[in-house]
Chain A
Amino acid sequence: MGFLAPGFLLGALAVGLPLYLHLLRRQSGVPRPFSSLMFFERRLPVAAHRRRLRYLLLLAARIAVILLVALAFAEPFIPGSLAGAGPERLLLLVIDDSFSMRAGARLDAAKRSALALVASKPSGERAQVLLLGAEVRALTSATEDPRVLRAAVEGIEPGDSRASFALLPGAVRAIGASAGAPLEVHLVSDMQRTQMPPSFSELAMPPNAALELQPVASGAAPNWAVESVTAPGQVFDLRTLRIQAVIAGYGTPAATRTATLIVNGRSVATRRVAVPASGRATVEFDAPELPYGLSRCAVRIDPADLLAADDEYLFSIERAERRRGLLVHQAADTRSALYFSAALRAADPSAFVISPVETANVAQEDPSAYAFVVLSDVAALPERFSARLADYVMRGGSVLIALGTAAAQQPRVPLIAVPPLAAHAYSRAPAGFAAVGEADATFPAVGRTADWDGVRFFYAAGLPVADARVLMRLTDGTPLLSERRFGEGRVMLFASGFDNLTNDLPLHPVFVAFVDRLARYLSGSEGRVSSHVVGESLALRSVRDPAVGVEVIDPHGHRPLSLGASTTAESLPLTIAGFYEVDFANGRQDVIAVNPDRRESDLAPVPRDVLALWRGAAAVPGATTAHGAPRLRATAPYDLWWYAMTVLLAVCVAESALASRYLGTPREGP
């Protein structure tokens, strides 16, 4: 029998305490005075003998409790034996199918090794095939049929995910708990160093599992890869487009590589780049020609190593026309349009253009021609335009209404047709004005509350907040920014103006970011990125888009979402490298580029001494695998912890019964 934590056996020394209490302490209680001991005698032999015997039973129970507690903490086990192990042992074949296994013939070697293990498995012994990637997946259930196991192994395809060895112990523990049998785990992998967790303790296998490592890579292999590409997700002016790619070498000598920019399958630019030994180099592509709409792009280097799959980095760019926004203002308001337009130009001069229109001239405008509409302190709207605006919102359009001093005095707020609440007038005197007190950080246009430090509000209209989501509040709790859904569209209310009169917001840097992000949000072009990494999740809908179908086509041309999932799924895990085509719930279409995690490109293996440490026990002499490699672990320990705890429970119950019976308070005499 062995112990996983033998140090706890020192706790057995605590048996001295009950020994002292029971045998060494002879006095019982406080001495009581008595007239004379003339008629008393020291304990008669029969009574004394009886008392000592009873107390010894209690003493034995208490000593047993202490010894069993120390034994349980020491985690006892009985080493088993692989040779001649009974049919109850479960063989786990874990094959690494991470991205790095695409290098050379590693995956084929892993499959051959797994098939050899299946062939050498004793008949009647159960086995199970698992894949180690972004998660541990079972390809089969525990089965004795080698044909099932072989078919599963032969059907393994290379993956794009990044694996971590830290996932293995947890999966083995779960399988062992359900199987109720000792496990023999064979990990077939290239033992990539980047798959090791930060803490070695995360690799600890459960005591009923024996681990055998089957490396399929002989050593480090040099590898170049396009490590990353920096490109905007959306471009309006090609003159501003810059694409940067980083070429990395892992265990490589210094070399010059050729990088090619590919747009929609066509090579548009080539650059030569000198990559230092095991270093990185940046290559830049300027102003490539892109068609309007979504383009599938890639940066590729010439192949020169075993892992060709990372020689290309995919990304997508949407070229869009400059979006137009309609800003309706009062004739007397000459500043809000100026400030609003200037902020948008400062953020990205190519993204948006604002068309300011006075209230008196807005009747002919068609809101549907604009990406969003801003009503800046508008007192009243022509009825015809109001109807068009309402229809525009119902069909998915977005409107921002700024309630200044004029709009706040109207009987109803435009579009939502409810009266505004009482306005708040603040002083311009120091400490008399209001500031932003709360900001909903989940709303991207708002930013952080700290970004609004220094912005002073002198006037705030009373926003009706029924059925609205309040996104910002002033320090006195007054709602500053709210959002309402109407049909497919939205209406946002801002309780102040953009005219530098009701507040000094336009004078602060946060105004530019606020207006830019707000415009992108209203126009539906917020936060598009050019590429993702395998393992990330893609948001398909927000909670504001219920029960609208989403369509996804993965890089293999398959639809990963069922009909039911397409109306309810809120996100999609990106598991395959390539381009996904997505129709989002809000009607937007997109092409999502997904690349493997470039940590898989570093093919350096785990050092042999670290692997040996992970293995644990010494090899059994003479025992070999089907390939002639020595078996590195010959014992499958049998955990005795549960037995110790069961006996401990029984002894505790017995001790309680004995103590209650022998040491209980006697009844008073008559």
Chain B
Amino acid sequence: MPRFLDPAVLSAISGLELVAKTVVDGFVAGLHRSADFGFSQEFAEYRAYTPGDDLRHVDWNVYARSERAYLKRYRGETNSLLTLLIDASNSMSYASGAVSKLDYARYIAASLAYLAIRTQRDAAGLVVFDDELRCVVRPSAREGQMHRVLAGLERAEPRARTRYEAPLEHVQGFVRRRGIVVMLSDFYATPERIVRAAEPLRFRGNEVVLFHILDRAELEPDIGASALLVDLETAERMEVNAEYAARDYRERIGAHIEALGTRARAAGLGYRLLVTDAPLDAALREYLTVRQGRD
């Protein structure tokens, strides 16, 4: 894995903007070297030249015929609207290694915002929620938007419990333009409830992607002979034994992931499981894929 896509390495970098730039630069460099993936070069439309645009993209044939400068725009170069929804409930603070789920979500959100704003010139916004909205940065491509999004990410602290209905309902209120809604959460709720909360966003023509963020220890818990576990959100205590953790629990969470992915796709939502010890490029790839598909 490229070093700067390793979340453990990123955790040592201070500053989300630097993290985001590092990730995106590394990601983009990888894309340019890849023969299998690249920006689409399919012609989409013309755009009038404005001072400052790159002259390499001017269609000189059109200029020769019309004496007016127009820029060719290709698929993938059209502007989009990215809304990032970050779950900052207490369960997102869990970490078995160097990076907690919330930190991982922060890295992804920052990288996506950087990719959208600086590279794709998209508008990006941020919503941080737990059982209610904690931070809202409306999508915009204006100057300083990147800093506003990063500041909102850095202020996000894990607390309270998770509640999807009210925050997503609020998001529906200000997402008026069609765009991409990326939701980063550990989704500790029934798949029906999650899809029911997120589906209305799809009805507005948005592309909704669920990034299911889990820690490796949540997928494969190792608790020894027995352990007394405490729920980070409800503070409930439960004594569990190794046999259950090794067998039944893994079956149940595997079934939940499967069910959530199936129902999400069935509802037209994008879904991807992200584990906090995995590189961040998967999330970026998913975003670009959705973006290009939308176009």
| Least CB distance, A662 to chain B, in whole angstroms | 9
Contact A42 B238 (CB under 8 A): yes
Q: How far is the CA of A346 from the CA of B236 in the complex (A)?
A: 104
| Least CB distance, B1 to chain A, in whole angstroms | 20
Q: Does B46 contact A (CB under 8 A)?
A: no
Q: How far is the CA of A41 from the CA of B243 in the complex (A)?
A: 12
Question: Which one of B101, B222, B225, B249 contacts A40 once the chains associate, using CB atoms below 8 Å?
Answer: B249
Residue of A nearest to B220 (CB): A669
Q: How far is the CA of A600 from the CA of B240 in the complex (A)?
A: 82
Contact B238 A37 (CB under 8 A): yes
Identify which of A34, A43, A51 gathers the most chain B CB atoms within 10 Å of its CB: A34
Question: Which one of A26, A29, A34, A41 contacts B248 once the chains associate, using CB atoms below 8 Å?
Answer: A41
Q: How far is the CA of A31 from the CA of B92 in the complex (A)?
A: 18
Residue of A nearest to B190 (CB): A38
Contact A39 B252 (CB under 8 A): yes
Q: Does A33 contact B (CB under 8 A)?
A: yes
**Interface residue count for B (Cβ, 8 Å)?**
39
* Interface size band for A: 20 to 34
Segment at the interface with A among B118-126, B194-202, B227-235, B279-287: B227-235
Scan A21-45; emit 1 where CB is below 8 A from any B CB, else 0: 0000011111111111111111110
| Least CB distance, A199 to chain B, in whole angstroms | 56
Chain A residues with Cβ below 8 Å from B292 are: none
Contact A40 B244 (CB under 8 A): yes
Q: Does A431 contact B (CB under 8 A)?
A: no
Contact B230 A47 (CB under 8 A): no
Contact A26 B94 (CB under 8 A): no
Q: Does B186 contact A (CB under 8 A)?
A: yes
Q: Does B159 contact A (CB under 8 A)?
A: no
Q: How far is the CA of A29 from the CA of B230 in the complex (A)?
A: 12
| Least CB distance, A483 to chain B, in whole angstroms | 79
Contact A35 B227 (CB under 8 A): no
Contact B243 A36 (CB under 8 A): no
Residue of A nearest to B233 (CB): A36
Contact A35 B228 (CB under 8 A): no
Chain A residues with Cβ below 8 Å from B101 are: 35
Check A34/B232 contact, CB under 8 A, given A39-B249, A39-B252, A669-B246: yes
Contact B241 A43 (CB under 8 A): yes
Contact A35 B222 (CB under 8 A): no
| Least CB distance, B277 to chain A, in whole angstroms | 14
Q: Does B25 contact A (CB under 8 A)?
A: no
Q: Does A668 contact B (CB under 8 A)?
A: yes
Scan B207-236; emit 1 where CB is below 8 A from any A CB, else 0: 000000001001011111111111111101
Scan A656-670; emit 1 where CB is below 8 A from any B CB, else 0: 000000010010110
Q: Does B253 contact A (CB under 8 A)?
A: yes
Chain B residues with Cβ below 8 Å from A38 are: 188
Contact A33 B244 (CB under 8 A): no
Chain B residues with Cβ below 8 Å from A42 are: 238-240
Q: Does B91 contact A (CB under 8 A)?
A: yes
Q: Does B237 contact A (CB under 8 A)?
A: yes
Scan B87-122; emit 1 where CB is below 8 A from any A CB, else 0: 000011010000001000000000000000000000
Contact A35 B94 (CB under 8 A): yes
Chain B residues with Cβ below 8 Å from A47 are: 241, 243-244
Chain A residues with Cβ below 8 Å from B230 are: 31-34
Residue of B nearest to A663 (CB): B225
Check A35/B256 contact, CB under 8 A, given A30-B228, A41-B248: no
Contact B234 A37 (CB under 8 A): yes
Chain B residues with Cβ below 8 Å from A39 are: 249, 252-253, 256
Q: Does B8 contact A (CB under 8 A)?
A: no
Contact B228 A32 (CB under 8 A): yes
Q: How far is the CA of A48 from the CA of B215 in the complex (A)?
A: 28
Contact B222 A668 (CB under 8 A): yes
Identify which of A26, A29, A48 gathers the most chain B CB atoms within 10 Å of its CB: A29
Check A28/B239 contact, CB under 8 A, given A34-B94, A668-B222: yes
Q: Does B242 contact A (CB under 8 A)?
A: yes
Chain B residues with Cβ below 8 Å from A28 are: 225-228, 239
Contact B241 A31 (CB under 8 A): no
| Least CB distance, A39 to chain B, in whole angstroms | 4
Question: Which one of A32, A33, A51 contacts B223 once the chains associate, using CB atoms below 8 Å?
Answer: A32
| Least CB distance, B4 to chain A, in whole angstroms | 27
Q: How far is the CA of A388 from the CA of B4 in the complex (A)?
A: 113
Q: How far is the CA of A31 from the CA of B252 in the complex (A)?
A: 23
Residue of A nearest to B255 (CB): A39
Contact A35 B218 (CB under 8 A): yes
Contact B233 A40 (CB under 8 A): no
Check A41/B224 contact, CB under 8 A, given A26-B239, A35-B215, A36-B233: no
Q: How far is the CA of A301 from the CA of B228 in the complex (A)?
A: 96
Chain A positions 212-235 with a Cβ under 8 Å from a chain B Cβ: none
Contact B186 A40 (CB under 8 A): no
Chain B residues with Cβ below 8 Å from A663 are: 225
Q: How far is the CA of A38 from the CA of B214 in the complex (A)?
A: 14
Q: How far is the CA of A51 from the CA of B240 in the complex (A)?
A: 12
Q: How far is the CA of A306 from the CA of B249 in the complex (A)?
A: 100
Residue of A nearest to B256 (CB): A39
Question: Which one of A29, A31, A44, A668 contacts B244 once the chains associate, using CB atoms below 8 Å?
Answer: A44
Contact B244 A32 (CB under 8 A): no
Chain B positions 147-192 with a Cβ under 8 Å from a chain A Cβ: 186, 188
Contact B228 A29 (CB under 8 A): yes
Chain A residues with Cβ below 8 Å from B220 are: 669
| Least CB distance, A519 to chain B, in whole angstroms | 89
Contact B225 A35 (CB under 8 A): no
Question: Which one of B92, B232, B240, B245 contacts A33 once the chains associate, using CB atoms below 8 Å?
Answer: B232
Chain A residues with Cβ below 8 Å from B249 are: 39-40
Q: How far is the CA of A40 from the CA of B249 in the complex (A)?
A: 6
Scan B55-93; emit 1 where CB is below 8 A from any A CB, else 0: 000000000000000000000000000000000000110
Chain A residues with Cβ below 8 Å from B234 are: 37
Question: Which one of A26, A30, A36, A666 contacts B91 once the chains associate, using CB atoms below 8 Å?
Answer: A36
Residues on A facing B (Cβ under 8 Å): 26-44, 47-48, 51, 663, 666, 668-669
In the assembled complex, 10 residue pairs joining A and B whose CB atoms fall closer than 8 Å, in A order, are A26-B239, A29-B228, A34-B231, A35-B94, A39-B253, A39-B256, A40-B238, A41-B244, A47-B244, A666-B224
Q: Which 4 A-B pairs have the closest CB atoms?
A: A35-B94, A36-B188, A39-B252, A669-B222
Q: A35-B94, A40-B249, A44-B248 are in contact. List 4 more A-B contacts (CB 8 A).
A: A31-B228, A31-B230, A37-B231, A47-B244
